[in-house]
A and B are shown apart, each in its own frame.
Chain A
Amino acid sequence: MIRLAALACGLLCGGGLILSGMADPARVQAFLRPGSDWDPSFGLAILAAIVLAFLGIRLHRRLGRALLPGPSVPPEAEGIDARLVAGSLLFGLGWGISGYSPGTALTAVGQFLGDGALFAAAALVGMLLHDLTTARGRATMRNMRSRG
């Protein structure tokens, strides 16, 4: 049931990404590129998404638990550290260079666009590189293996 709900949410989200233009790398880059032809539409889409997400968070808090039974979800990370700053800068660099993020790369895969698939594959390799080269990443991998 949880998987079905997640699949439906993914479909809805993907549709929203396409309709809004957020899935379009050129639109993302037009939002990030400074200059006179600045295109605010990506920001507008994010603002609209924040409003709906805010309502969802309020409702979820009022309900006190998820409507569907399932494994417990770890709480969101809090606190600000160097890893957050460095990770977000690196992430942003890749986002700006290509106009893709992992989510929009997957909708591009669904449109049979080669660069979406290329970005997604490279992002997986980047994640694996992180896990292999940092002590924290190696610890995560050990935990995964010991859990099977």
Chain B
Amino acid sequence: MVLDWLSTASGAAVMGGGLVGLSAALLLVLTGRAMNMSDMFGSLLGGNEGLAAASIAFLAGLVLAPTVWQIWVPLPDAGGGTNVPLVLVAGLLAGFGARLGGTGISGQAILGLARQSRRALVAVVCMILGGIAGVVASGWVRSSGVPT
């Protein structure tokens, strides 16, 4: 029964989410750092050298993960249908917003909520509201036949 459940989308989501949380816990206990991936990503632009080196090592782990993990876990099919202008606009907005608010999904929705931080709760609510608007808007753009 348990194994059946684990093979479902919900089971895999809970298992995989647990691994992400375990990674955040290990990073904190071992190095004292918060797993805020958007913030770590920003350190590619420079910043405190001692802190940036570990952030960049973490990011390298993210990039290498699919290669290592497909030894055990087959990679899911990549979704097709890239819309270049939409992805570019999305990246610009997310990058600007992450820097403006010192915000990001992993830092706020995982570690922030685990710390029971009110700041994180506000950030998560705003990110979800923005996310709903974004997904609805991208649906309109795609269905209105803007070239992809």
A66–B90 touching, CB < 8 Å: no
B13 interface neighbour in A11, A48, A95, Cβ under 8 Å: A48
User: Is A77 interfacial (CB-CB < 8 Å)?
Assistant: yes
B27–A87 touching, CB < 8 Å: no
CB interface residues, B 62-89, toward A, < 8 Å = 62-69, 73, 75-76, 78-79, 82, 84, 86-89
Known contacts A15-B68, A19-B12; A91/B92 CB under 8 A: no
Nearest chain B residue, comparing its CB with the CB of A98: B90
B17 interface neighbour in A48, A57, A66, A87, Cβ under 8 Å: A48
- Report, as a range, how many residues of chain B touch the other chain: 35 or more
Report the minimum CB–CB distance from A95 to chain B (whole Å).
5
Known contacts A14-B64, A53-B21, A57-B115; A95/B134 CB under 8 A: yes
| A17 to B63 alpha-carbon distance, docked (Å) | 11
B19–A20 touching, CB < 8 Å: yes
Q: How many A-B residue pairs have CB under 8 A?
A: 484
Q: Give the interface centre of B13, B29, B105, B132 by most chain A CB atoms within 10 Å.
A: B13
B65 interface neighbour in A11, A26, A51, A68, Cβ under 8 Å: A11
Q: A-side binding surface: helix, strand, loop or mixed?
A: helix
A32–B132 touching, CB < 8 Å: yes
Known contacts A7-B58, A48-B21, A106-B63; A94/B92 CB under 8 A: yes
Contacting residues, chain B, for A107 (C-beta < 8 A): 62-63, 65-66
Contacting residues, chain B, for A71 (C-beta < 8 A): 48, 50-51
| A123 to B108 alpha-carbon distance, docked (Å) | 18
A60–B122 touching, CB < 8 Å: no
| A115 to B10 alpha-carbon distance, docked (Å) | 26
A129–B96 touching, CB < 8 Å: yes
Q: Give the interface centre of B42, B95, B130, B138 by most chain A CB atoms within 10 Å.
A: B95
CB interface residues, B 1-53, toward A, < 8 Å = 9-10, 12-35, 37-38, 41-42, 44-51, 53
Contacting residues, chain B, for A98 (C-beta < 8 A): 86-87, 90-91, 94, 134, 138
Contacting residues, chain A, for B136 (C-beta < 8 A): 33-34, 96
A100–B24 touching, CB < 8 Å: no
User: Is A135 interfacial (CB-CB < 8 Å)?
Assistant: no
Known contacts A45-B16, A119-B87; A56/B62 CB under 8 A: no
| A103 to B103 alpha-carbon distance, docked (Å) | 13
- List the 3 closest A-B pairs by CB distance, nearest first: A10-B61, A87-B101, A56-B25
Chain A residues within 8 Å of B, Cβ to Cβ: 2-22, 24-26, 28-29, 32-34, 39-42, 44-57, 59-60, 63, 65-68, 70-73, 76-80, 83-103, 105-107, 109-111, 113-115, 118-131, 134, 137, 144, 147
Q: List 7 A-B contacts (CB under 8 A).
A: A2-B53, A10-B59, A13-B35, A20-B13, A55-B25, A98-B91, A118-B84
